[in-house]
């Protein structure tokens, strides 16, 4: 089998990869909806793939893996890797998890980071109402994650929240950074208290915090919330769209508190997790299979973390329904340090109409059934999907 074409179409806001072969099989991969601009980066790899056997996934990846980078640019390589595994599974007529060593669980635990409504404000009562709505949803998520501090509007809406330079509200990926004021600090604590009063011990709470904190503020806050038994504090020092890791500072934060510290969604490749893991700089890591280099990369990182007693909770909020298939397959194979992955819901209503292979109710009791169809288990109905193609992508499904 040989690859005859690499195509990419932006459907909605998601760049979708389609690898075509001379035997009629194809594979799909999906990039986060926040990165529609990555289409030319994906197509840049076309020449490297043409003529290769897509079922030799690792051999193909050796051609392109070193040409990715930290979020967002690792997404181009990662989506191609997903599509290669999709073909390999279809060629072998087995789900991808079988090719990754086989499943260790029949149902995969997920948490809510994507199913949201517009919050009424950034005050404690608004956060309390928001988590109440989340905990009452039919998916019965065991855990919800809320954005606070630099990963929320409070950096703008709370007067004098911090002493740094404010970045434009509308620019995705810009990082506010600075010392947090006493007012801002107390406001966050009030919001956490309000949420925990609602959630109690029935539904766990994690906080997406940044990046952008200074280390002294991060230590004080992590210690101040210890009594609430949070699942984790995420990306306080580095994180989303930050192209470095800073393990030494994270280790100082981690060893200062009993509150678990989490990072990793922006990191590309296992090599850039090495120091974080081997120095036990964090308690939880959260690579995104659509950014880190793919699902095999995620599995390698998880196994290494398991050997160092570090927990795994993969990122995935914007990965879409094809990305959901990739997450389910790899997380079915992960060792006991796996907690849950961040459930990616459809970014627009039409995705539920054009993606096939998923049950009507995907999440029950915070669990998703492992998909048993060959490949990644999900596909796009070409006839239904064509209406959402841009004119320049008219031949995508041909």
Burial per residue of 185-205, b for 16 or more beta-carbon CB atoms within 10 angstroms, e otherwise = bebbbebbebbbebbeeebbb
pTM over 0.85: yes
Q: Which of 37, 141, 35 is nearest to 366 (CA)?
A: 141
Q: Judging by beta carbons within 10 Å of its beta carbon (0-12, 13-18, 19+), is residue 43 exposed, middle or buried?
A: middle
Q: Give the whole-angstrom CA distance, residue 352 versus residue 364.
A: 17
At 174 the pLDDT is 85
Q: Give the whole-angstrom CA distance, residue 12 versus residue 33.
A: 8
**Domain ranges within the chain, ordered by starting residue:** 3-93+381-393, 98-374
Q: Give the whole-angstrom CA distance, residue 70 versus residue 81.
A: 16
Q: Are 98 and 374 in contact (CB under 8 A)?
A: no
Q: Give the whole-angstrom CA distance, residue 41 versus residue 21.
A: 21
Q: Give the whole-angstrom CA distance, residue 371 versus residue 97.
A: 9
DSSP 147-186: E-GGGSTHHHHSTT-BSSBPPPTT-TT---B-PBPHHHHH
Q: Give the whole-angstrom CA distance, residue 235 versus residue 225.
A: 16
Q: Are 235 and 145 in contact (CB under 8 A)?
A: no
Q: Are 24 and 69 in contact (CB under 8 A)?
A: no
Residues in the chain with pLDDT values less than 50: none
Q: Which of 126, 131, 138 is nearest to 113 (CA)?
A: 131
Helix axes 295-306, 320-331, angle to 10 degrees: 40
Which fold, 3-93+381-393?
A: Enolase-like; domain 1 (3.30.390)
At 168 the pLDDT is 85
Q: Kindly report the CATH number that applies to the domain delimited by 98-374.
A: 3.20.20.120
Q: Which of 187, 232, 189 is nearest to 207 (CA)?
A: 232
At 167 the pLDDT is 87
A 10 A CB-CB count for 106 gives 10
Q: Token pair for residue 59?
A: 């051999």
Residue 226's contacts (CB-CB under 8 Å, 6 or more residues apart) are 257, 258, 259
H/E run at residue 356: strand 355-356
């Amino acid at each position: 089998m040989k690859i005859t074409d690499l195509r990419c179409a932006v459907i909605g806001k998601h760049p979708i990869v389609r690898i075509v072969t001379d035997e009629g099989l194809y594979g799909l991969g999906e990039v986060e909806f926040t990165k529609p601009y990555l289409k030319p980066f994906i197509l840049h790899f076309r020449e490297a793939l043409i003529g290769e056997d897509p079922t030799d996934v690792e051999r193909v990846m050796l051609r392109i893996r070193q040409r990715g980078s930290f979020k967002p640019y690792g997404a181009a390589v990662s989506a191609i890797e997903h599509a290669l595994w999709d073909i390999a599974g279809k060629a072998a007529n087995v789900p991808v998890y079988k090719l990754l060593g086989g499943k260790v669980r029949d149902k995969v635990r997920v948490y809510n980071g994507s199913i949201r409504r517009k919050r009424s404000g950034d005050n404690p009562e608004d956060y309390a109402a928001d988590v109440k709505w989340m905990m009452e949803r039919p998916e019965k998520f065991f855990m919800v994650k809320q954005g606070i501090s630099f990963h929320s509007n409070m950096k703008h809406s709370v007067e004098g929240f911090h002493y740094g330079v404010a970045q434009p509200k509308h620019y995705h990926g810009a990082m506010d950074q600075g010392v947090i004021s006493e007012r801002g600090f107390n406001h966050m604590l009030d919001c956490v208290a309000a949420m925990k009063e609602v959630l109690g011990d029935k539904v766990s709470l994690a906080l997406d915090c940044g990046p952008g904190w200074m280390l002294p503020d991060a230590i004080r806050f992590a210690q101040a919330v210890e009594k609430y038994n949070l699942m984790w504090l995420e990306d306080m020092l580095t994180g989303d769209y930050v192209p470095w890791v800073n393990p030494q500072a994270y280790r100082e934060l981690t060893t200062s508190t009993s509150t678990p510290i989490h990072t990793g969604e922006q990191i590309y490749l296992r090599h850039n997790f090495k120091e974080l893991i081997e120095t036990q700089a964090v308690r939880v890591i959260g690579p995104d299979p659509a950014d880190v280099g793919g699902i095999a990369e995620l599995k390698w990182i998880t196994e290494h973390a398991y050997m160092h007693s570090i927990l795994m909770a993969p990122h995935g909020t914007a990965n879409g329904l094809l990305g959901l298939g990739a997450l389910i397959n790899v997380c079915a194979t992960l060792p006991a340090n796996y907690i849950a992955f961040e459930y990616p819901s459809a970014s627009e209503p039409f995705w539920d109409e054009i993606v096939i292979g998923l049950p009507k109710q995907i999440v029950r009791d915070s669990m998703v059934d492992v998909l048993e169809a060959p490949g990644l288990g999900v596909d796009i109905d070409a006839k239904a999907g064509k209406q959402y193609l841009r004119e320049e992508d008219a031949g995508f499904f041909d």
